[in-house]
Amino acid sequence: APVFTLNFDCSSLGCDCESSNCLSIRDHPCIAWSGLSKSIPVLLFFPEAAVSKDGNICSIGERYRMAFKIVRTESRLVRGLLTNHGFHEVHPNSNDFNLMWTGSHLKPYILRSLQDFQKVNHFPRSYELTRKDRLYKNIQRMQQTHGFKNFHIVPQTFVLPSEFQEFCNCFAKDKGPWIIKPVASSRGRGIYLVSNPNQISMDENILVSRYINNPLLIDEFKFDVRLYVLVTSYDPLLIYVYEEGLARFATVKYDRTSKNIKNTFMHLTNYSVNKKSSDYVSCDDPEVEDYGNKWSMSAVLRYLKQEGKDTTLLMRQVEDLVIKAVLSAELQIATACKMFVPHKTNCFELYGFDVLIDSNLKPWLLEVNLSPSLACDAPLDLKIKASMIADMFSLVGECRNKRCLYNSVCIRE
Ligand code: ADP
């Protein structure tokens, strides 16, 4: 029995109920029927369960003795959702689990030991996408083999110190500003802008990227968009893009001149950076999606549409960018899966894509996050993330419910 796909033969799952009794799951809200003759029961997840317990919803996980473990991370959202669907939490060292939710990459020996009904939330070598330097190198390779124009989805980037000379040659033609980032950092840490190579501190391995200095502004503020991308398989490649996302706004109005390049509240849109600003405005009402420094992506799209922008084309380009980024790491990850992952259905992964839209409405990929934040500081976070995670769990159990917001953008045998 693959995880979340309930085997109707209860006894093989160690279920001690009478099988006639089990027929009651026919009409259970957490069960959908799949397969040609609609005979395979699969588990449906409800976002409401992230915060409240309902005996009926809980009964299914309990009946089938579903188990999960959380390793090297903390997620109230994931724990709440699974627990309230009747999943039982086991110790991080236990092997008796259906689902392992971990904050870091998995060691090959752990992957090799997975049984067919077990799932983990990472693929091996996902860092080919989620490390900024690897992502850029992989996309650069695609630019060389498939045409620069077709893969011009990331700002030009150099890895320092090794490519310092190339950077200086490029700088001679384009004086910037340029943006400096540590290779494997996150949340805006260690990021700054420079207008001259001699302002770069070379203590660690860093990236220097062309700064997109014409971001699309809303009310004069810069923003970027966090998109959620689910990959359920690399071979065949199955990519889903979640329809809803979050737009994160800077807290200081944007100034195109390079006078204020030191002001991170103007140039960086990370929540972790801007929440420290006294100008950060949060919103307490989950129904209001276009107020303060965090909006829903759909609210941004509605706003842009009203301004006469072609948001359909924009979202098509965003999907195109997602597919191309994943394709650039596909071979390495699929090869690692062949080497380390015993069963096709063992791995899935939710990536956080950070996208910046420029004033020409061109989306740029800034980075791909390995474990996108599931923190719910504002009610809007909970509203979006609870549905996004519930739909994800339904989908990895191969269940697509009617209100599922994941759109399949790539299915390739
Ligand atoms: P981190 O992993 O630390 O969040 P990012 O690459 O996402 O690093 O960059 C942090 C923020 O800096 C982004 O959210 C964006 O606002 C800004 N930024 C990053 N790269 C660029 C760029 N090339 N042009 C313009 N702004 C950028």
d(CA 357, CA 361): 6
User: pLDDT (tens digit, 9 = 90+) per residue, 274-305?
Assistant: 999 999 999 999 999 999 999 999 999 999 99
**Cβ–ligand 1 contact at 357 (below 6 Å):** no
300 pocket-lining for ligand 1 (C-beta < 6 Å): no
353 vs 409: CA distance, rounded Å: 15
The C-alpha atoms of residue 126 and residue 227 are separated, in whole angstroms, by: 17
Quote the ligand 1 centre to 192 CA distance (angstroms): 9
219, amino acid identity: D
- Is the CA virtual torsion 294, 296, 297, 299 positive or negative? negative
CB of 191 within 6 A of ligand 1: the answer is yes
Average pLDDT over residues 336-355: 96
- CB of 367 closer than 6 angstroms to any ligand 1 atom: yes
**Which residues does residue 98 pair with via DSSP β-bridges, in sequence order?**
none
Of 3-7, 155-159, 232-236, give the lowest mean pLDDT range: 3-7
Return the DSSP state at 27: G
Please report the pLDDT score of residue 411 as a whole number. Answer: 63
Distance of CA 18 to the CA centre of its chain: 41
In this prediction, residue 13 has a pLDDT band, given cuts at 50, 70 and 90, of: very low
Q: Which residue has the higher pLDDT, 64 or 44?
A: 44
The Cα–Cα gap between 4 and 265 comes to 44
Top mutation candidate among 127, 154, 179 for ligand 1, by most atoms within 8 Å of CB: 179
Q: What pTM was estimated for this model as a whole?
A: 0.94
- Of the pLDDT bands very low, low, confident and very high (cuts 50, 70, 90), residue 20 is very low
Distance, CA 366 to ligand 1 centroid (Å)?
6
Q: What is the DSSP letter of 347?
A: B
Would strands 192-194 and 217-218 be described as parallel, antiparallel, or unpaired?
unpaired
Q: Which two tokens stand for residue 410?
A: 């790539």
Place of tokens 């159990």: 397
What is the side-by-side strand order in the sheet with 99-102?
A: 88-89, 67-71, 99-102, 119-120
Q: Among 152, 354, 366, 371, name the best residue to mutate to test ligand 1's pocket (greatest count of ligand atoms within 8 A of Cβ).
A: 366
Q: What average pLDDT does the structure give for the chain?
A: 90
Q: What is d(CA 59, CA 355) in angstroms, rounded to the nearest whole number?
A: 40
- Cα 173 from chain centre: 35
CA of 188 to the centre of ligand 1 (A): 7
Rounded distance between C-alpha atoms, residue 135 and residue 348, angstroms: 19
CB of 72 closer than 8 Å to CB of 102 = yes
Q: Which of 351, 356, 371 to mutate to test the pocket of ligand 1 (most atoms within 8 A of CB)?
A: 356
Rounded to whole angstroms, what are the CA distances from 38 to 20, 33, 45, 236, 315? Answer: 18, 5, 19, 24, 34
What stretches of 84-219 show up as alpha helix (H) in DSSP? 108-112, 127-130, 132-146, 164-173
d(CA 388, CA 380): 12
Token pair 């006639």 is found at 20
In the three-class reduction of DSSP (H, G, I as helix; E, B as strand; rest coil), residue 145 is classed as helix
Q: What phi and psi, each to the nearest 5 degrees, are found at residue 382?
A: -65, -45
Q: Given a cut of 90, is residue 129 above it in pLDDT?
A: yes
Q: What is the mean pLDDT of residues 114-139?
A: 96
Write out pLDDT tens, residues 190-211. 999 999 999 998 878 899 999 9
Ligand 1 lined by 345 (C-beta under 6 Å): no
The secondary structure of residue 23, as a DSSP letter, is G
